[in-house]
């Protein structure tokens, strides 16, 4: 799991949340990790990670 020091959350809509943060350059050469959390309903959520 990543522990971002600077986290910026963007609310796309009432049911979708996109979170983007910058990672240190020494972390597998990953510039940014995008997490899209889509709420399927009031209790279940789907987390997708893209790099």
pTM: 0.15
Average pLDDT, the chain: 45
Confidence label for 37 from pLDDT (cuts 50, 70 and 90)? very low
Give the model confidence (pLDDT) of 21-36 as tens digits. Answer: 454 555 544 444 444 4
DSSP secondary structure of 27-42: TTT--EEEEEEEESSS
pLDDT at 50 over 50: yes
Rounded Cα distance between 8 and 5, Å, is 10
């Amino acid at each position: 799991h990543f522990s971002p020091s600077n986290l910026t959350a963007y609310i796309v809509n009432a049911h979708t949340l996109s979170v983007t943060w910058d990672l240190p350059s020494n972390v597998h050469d990953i510039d940014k990790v995008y997490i899209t959390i889509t709420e399927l309903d009031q209790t279940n959520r789907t987390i997708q990670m893209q790099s």
